[in-house]
């Protein structure tokens, strides 16, 4: 039997403590085993983790220049939610913690989604799927 697959999203951040406080306000916890002054391991689920890495530490993993997510988009990370209300709760918590909402909510009938831009400009979408696309 093989171990379940996991995903680790690595994001550069300018201020690790501010980023940890921001995501804690959304209800996420951190694995202290993989958290120090350079990185924080945010636990999204049993198999999804976001590594918040201070920019100088992040740069040690690539030879390419970092993208300034406040002015350019490199990726949009989308997380699922259990309900329409959970989408709103999570995005509203992000907004209250200092995020901005770059696009209006979209209700496609089978899917409801909203998004936010975090403190470092990274784009996140939260989506609830209820049915099949038409």
- The CATH number that applies at residue 13 is 3.10.180.10
**Both structure tokens of 101:** 């909402």
At 4 the pLDDT is 76
Domain-embedded: residue 48: yes
Q: For residue 38, what are the domain limits?
A: 7-129
Domain-embedded: residue 134: no
Domain-embedded: residue 60: yes
Domain-embedded: residue 66: yes
Domain count, the chain: 1
At 131 the pLDDT is 73
At 133 the pLDDT is 73
Q: How far is CA 10 from CA 53, 71, 75, in A?
A: 7, 19, 11
Q: Which residues of the chain have pLDDT under 50?
A: none
Domain-embedded: residue 68: yes
Domain-embedded: residue 2: no
The Cα 23–Cα 18 span in angstroms is 9
């Amino acid at each position: 039997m093989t171990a379940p697959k996991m995903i680790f999203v690595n994001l550069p951040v300018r201020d690790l403590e501010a980023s940890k406080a921001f995501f804690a306000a959304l209800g996420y916890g951190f694995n202290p085993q993989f958290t120090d002054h350079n990185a924080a391991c945010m636990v999204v689920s049993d198999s999804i983790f976001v590594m918040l890495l201070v920019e100088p530490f992040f740069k040690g993993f690539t030879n390419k220049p970092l993208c300034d997510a406040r002015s350019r988009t490199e990726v949009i990370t989308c997380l699922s939610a259990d309900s329409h209300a959970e989408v709103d709760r999570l995005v509203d918590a992000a907004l209250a913690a200092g995020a901005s909402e770059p696009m209006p909510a979209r209700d496609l009938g089978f899917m409801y989604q909203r998004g936010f831009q975090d403190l470092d400009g990274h784009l996140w979408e939260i989506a609830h799927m209820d049915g099949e696309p038409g």
